[in-house]
């Protein structure tokens, strides 16, 4: 294609795209002005009027919509951060178990991954909420003494109370994401040459120590990108909180939109909040990646 | 083949190599035993399967009128038949060549069968439900999303700045938003962006939202396939005198799609699982119909039976899809097709 041809083609496409967007916006404007709902963010200051199941800072129904959305954002952040830690620990264990010498352990891990990945997350969340947590009795189970107590009122971890909704969501998200992380970790471990295993074994290092000190550090650069995308998936999947009644960002936005009818504004706010969450996660992982690469260069 | 060490030695090496291994083996065995014992006890003693067995038609068809149920039943039966034929059928012959066409035809055929028209009694979309709705949502949005995804991937690769930018922005924004938000706003916003008198029914809105969402993910998978194609392929096509379009359609895309196939399979399985999200937004697909069943006082508290049953159904369908995809991968891999031609 000639340069001028390319230019006119692009110009034409840009105009077509603009016209298309223009038609959409015109339709939107017609529909909104018909219902007297033209864009504004003034409603954010009005009292929300609904209660939240849990809120990390003080909140009452007479507080503004903006504050309620903030609480939702903090609740989301809470479950995402806890989920990241739990899913990583479980996922690395399950992924490492795949390359264990013990055949039973390998079978357990691959069975776990195969089962969890073929069942919808929403179904798993409902299972954890209605079957695993709500059907417990009111008297707490305490398998480890006062360390952890589980009942249908929630989880008591070292004196810290976690609600049933939060616990069910956290367990469901972690178990689901860990299965994918296990695959990422397995792929990373497989990318390390077999000779490295033979080398540390011939040095007499025990299996677990060799895995931690020799294989995993070399597998990290291959693991980190996959891990980042799994973390982003966990963050996005945390919006299924609404199915178990946990007041996360999406659930609060949903209630807000239903009450005010401000769908477009609500969507924009949700979009911005999620871009912020994504930036937080990718930024953190980028930093980690840089630290890992630097420490590897030093070796 | 060389015969390995004796079974006892192998057992020892794989399970009982060190004291720690013995401990792990015992723990895992105890865990397996405990899981088997409790689930058997539950399956035989505690479980009450009436919530499943009495409601089979609901799980399959939702509230579809009972005298018209042969239509979704026919569609599901044809899908199962096609799956079996693809997996077990003849390796050669006209039937094998026609199979892809049959598969593509299943989508419009399913829509016509469920919706009616053309001599069939029209059934409004709010009466669709159960497994047939789940499969229909998956098939329709998949068929829409694949070409959109391919176009987006190609758009992201071109040197035309305007297209490249707009495709990138679309893909990145879509991938940053959670699906439930896309679906919810699809239900709310699609009517707002359309001219006033154009009505779009809820199932179609859901299909559109799924397709718009999945296209962004498919685009990234296809892009991975495109990037895996060596430059020499473009040069070879240019030497043969193929035009840009011919190069794309005959050389680049077939290879890119074949490379992207495993990732695309994962997307398809994910799409099927994600249709369950419509239960939150009030469609009575497989999970939605179960939620309304559990609200029925006759079956109150029978969560575990229903969830185990649903998990089984989803597992079966997902596994069938994965098997089909692996079969396709095998058929398309250059080594097998080369030997088949010889």
> Which stretch of DSSP H or E encloses residue A155?
strand A154-157
Minimal Cα distance from A279: which residue of B?
A: B176
Helices (H) and strands (E) in chain A, counts: 10, 3
Rg (CA), chain B: 25
* Whole-number pLDDT of residue B210: 93
> Quick one: average pLDDT of A31-60?
81
Structure tokens, B146: 């694949």
Q: What is the pLDDT of residues B305-330, one digit of tens each?
A: 899 999 999 999 998 888 888 888 88
Residues B192, A31: C-beta atoms closer than 8 Å: yes
Alpha-carbon distances, residue B209 vs A255, B192, B271 (angstroms): 21, 14, 12
ipTM value for the complex? 0.85
- Return all residues near B316 (Cβ < 8 A) that are at least 6 apart: none
Alpha-carbon distances, residue A180 vs A162, B141, B148, B318 (angstroms): 26, 24, 27, 16
* Whole-number pLDDT of residue B3: 53
Residues A131, B274: C-beta atoms closer than 8 Å: no
What is the least distance, in Å, from the CA of A299 to any CA of chain B? Answer: 31
Residues B315, A118: C-beta atoms closer than 8 Å: yes
Identify all chain B residues contacting A34, using CB atoms and an 8 Å cutoff.
Answer: 196
DSSP 3-state assignment of A103? helix
Q: What is the pLDDT of residues A173-198, one digit of tens each?
A: 999 999 999 999 999 998 889 899 89
* Whole-number pLDDT of residue B196: 67
Structural domains in chain B?
47-334 (1.10.3720.10)
Residues A9, B160: C-beta atoms closer than 8 Å: yes
* Whole-number pLDDT of residue A129: 92
* Whole-number pLDDT of residue A298: 67
Identify all chain A residues contacting B276, using CB atoms and an 8 Å cutoff.
Answer: 120, 122-123
Structural domains in chain A?
72-118+174-298 (1.10.3720.10)
B7 touches A: beta carbon within 8 Å: no
Residues A108, B279: C-beta atoms closer than 8 Å: no
Model confidence, pTM: 0.86
Residues A10, B193: C-beta atoms closer than 8 Å: no
> Quick one: average pLDDT of A98-105?
84
Q: Which of A113, A126, A235, A264 to mutate to test the interface with B (most CBs of B within 10 A)?
A: A126
Structure tokens, B165: 């930018």
Instruction: Please state whether beta strands A154-157 and A160-162 pair in parallel, antiparallel, or not at all (unpaired).
Output: antiparallel
DSSP string, A252-281: HHHHHHHHH--HHHHHHHHHHHHHHHHHHH
Minimal Cα distance from A25: which residue of B?
A: B193
**A-B C-beta contacts closer than 8 Å:** 133
Minimal Cα distance from A281: which residue of B?
A: B176
Identify all chain A residues contacting B314, using CB atoms and an 8 Å cutoff.
Answer: 118-120, 123
B22 touches A: beta carbon within 8 Å: no
Looking at per-residue confidence, does A103 or B89 come out higher? A103
What is the least distance, in Å, from the CA of B166 to any CA of chain A? Answer: 9
What is the least distance, in Å, from the CA of B118 to any CA of chain A? Answer: 33
Identify all chain A residues contacting B280, using CB atoms and an 8 Å cutoff.
Answer: 122, 240, 242-243
Residues A130, B303: C-beta atoms closer than 8 Å: yes
Q: What is the pLDDT of residues A225-250, one digit of tens each?
A: 889 989 999 999 999 999 998 999 99
Instruction: Please state whether beta strands A160-162 and A148-151 pair in parallel, antiparallel, or not at all (unpaired).
Output: unpaired
Residue ranges of chain B whose pLDDT lies below 70 = 1-5, 7, 13-15, 17, 196-197, 335-342
The answer to whether B77 and B85 are in contact (CB under 8 A) is no
Q: Which of B30, B155, B184, B217 to mutate to test the interface with A (most CBs of A within 10 A)?
A: B184
Is residue A149 scored above 90 in pLDDT? no
**Cα B194-B199-B204 angle, rounded to 5 deg:** 95
């Amino acid at each position: 294609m000639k340069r001028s041809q390319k230019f006119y083609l692009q110009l034409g496409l840009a105009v077509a795209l603009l016209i298309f967007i223009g038609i959409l916006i015109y339709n939107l404007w017609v529909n909104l002005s018909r219902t007297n709902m033209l864009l504004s963010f003034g409603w954010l200051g009005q009292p929300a009027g609904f209660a939240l199941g849990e809120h990390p800072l003080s909140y009452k129904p007479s507080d503004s919509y903006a504050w309620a959305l903030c609480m939702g954002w903090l609740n989301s952040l809470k479950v995402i951060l806890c989920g990241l830690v739990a899913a990583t620990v479980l996922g690395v264990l399950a992924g490492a178990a795949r390359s264990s010498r013990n055949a039973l352990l390998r079978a357990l891990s691959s069975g776990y991954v195969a089962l969890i990945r073929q069942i919808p997350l929403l179904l798993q969340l409902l299972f954890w909420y209605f079957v695993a947590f709500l059907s417990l009795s009111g008297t707490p189970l305490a398998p480890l003494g006062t360390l952890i107590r589980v009942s249908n009122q929630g989880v008591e971890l070292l004196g810290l109370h976690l609600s049933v909704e939060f616990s069910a969501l956290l367990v469901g998200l972690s178990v689901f994401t860990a299965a994918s992380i296990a695959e990422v970790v397995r792929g990373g471990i497989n990318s390390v040459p077999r000779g490295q295993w033979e080398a540390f074994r011939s040095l007499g290092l025990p299996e677990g120590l060799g895995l931690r000190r020799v294989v995993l550090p070399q597998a990290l650069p291959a693991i980190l990108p996959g891990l980042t995308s799994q973390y982003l998936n966990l963050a996005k999947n945390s919006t299924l909180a609404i199915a178990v009644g946990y007041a996360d960002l999406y659930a609060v936005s949903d209630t807000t939109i239903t009450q005010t009818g401000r769908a477009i504004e609500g969507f924009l706010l949700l979009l911005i909040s999620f871009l912020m969450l994504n930036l937080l996660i990718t930024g953190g992982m980028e930093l980690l990646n840089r630290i890992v690469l630097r420490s590897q260069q030093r070796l | 083949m060389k015969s390995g060490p004796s079974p006892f030695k192998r057992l020892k090496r794989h399970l009982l190599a060190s004291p720690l291994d013995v401990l792990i083996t015992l723990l895992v065995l105890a865990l397996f035993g405990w899981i088997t014992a409790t689930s058997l006890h539950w399956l035989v003693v505690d479980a009450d399967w009436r919530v499943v067995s009495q409601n089979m038609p609901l799980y399959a068809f939702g509230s579809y009128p009972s005298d018209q149920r042969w239509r979704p039943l026919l569609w599901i039966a044809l899908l199962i038949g096609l799956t079996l034929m693809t997996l077990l059928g003849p390796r050669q012959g006209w039937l094998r060549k026609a199979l892809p066409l049959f598969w593509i035809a299943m989508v419009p055929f399913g829509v016509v069968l469920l919706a009616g028209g053309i001599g069939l009694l029209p059934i409004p979309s709010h009466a669709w439900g159960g497994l047939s709705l789940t499969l229909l949502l998956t098939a329709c949005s998949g068929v829409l999303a694949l070409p959109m995804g391919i176009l987006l991937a190609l758009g992201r690769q071109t040197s035309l700045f305007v297209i490249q930018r707009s495709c990138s922005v679309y893909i990145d924004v879509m991938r940053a938003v959670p699906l439930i938000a896309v679906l919810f706003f699809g239900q709310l916003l699609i009517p707002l962006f359309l001219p006033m008198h154009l009505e779009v029914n809820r199932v179609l809105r859901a299909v559109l939202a799924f397709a718009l969402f999945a296209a962004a993910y498919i685009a990234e998978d296809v892009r991975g396939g495109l990037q895996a194609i060596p430059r020499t392929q473009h040069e070879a096509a240019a030497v043969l005198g193929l035009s840009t379009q011919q190069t794309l359609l005959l050389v680049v895309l077939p290879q890119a799609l074949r490379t992207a196939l495993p990732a695309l399979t994962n997307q398809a399985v994910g799409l099927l699982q994600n249709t369950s999200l419509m239960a939150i937004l009030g469609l009575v697909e497989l999970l939605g119909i179960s939620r309304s069943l559990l609200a029925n006082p006759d079956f109150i508290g029978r969560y575990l039976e229903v969830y185990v049953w649903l998990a089984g159904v989803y597992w079966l369908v997902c596994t069938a899809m994965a098997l089909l995809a692996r079969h396709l991968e095998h058929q398309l891999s250059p080594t097998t097709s080369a030997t088949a031609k010889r």
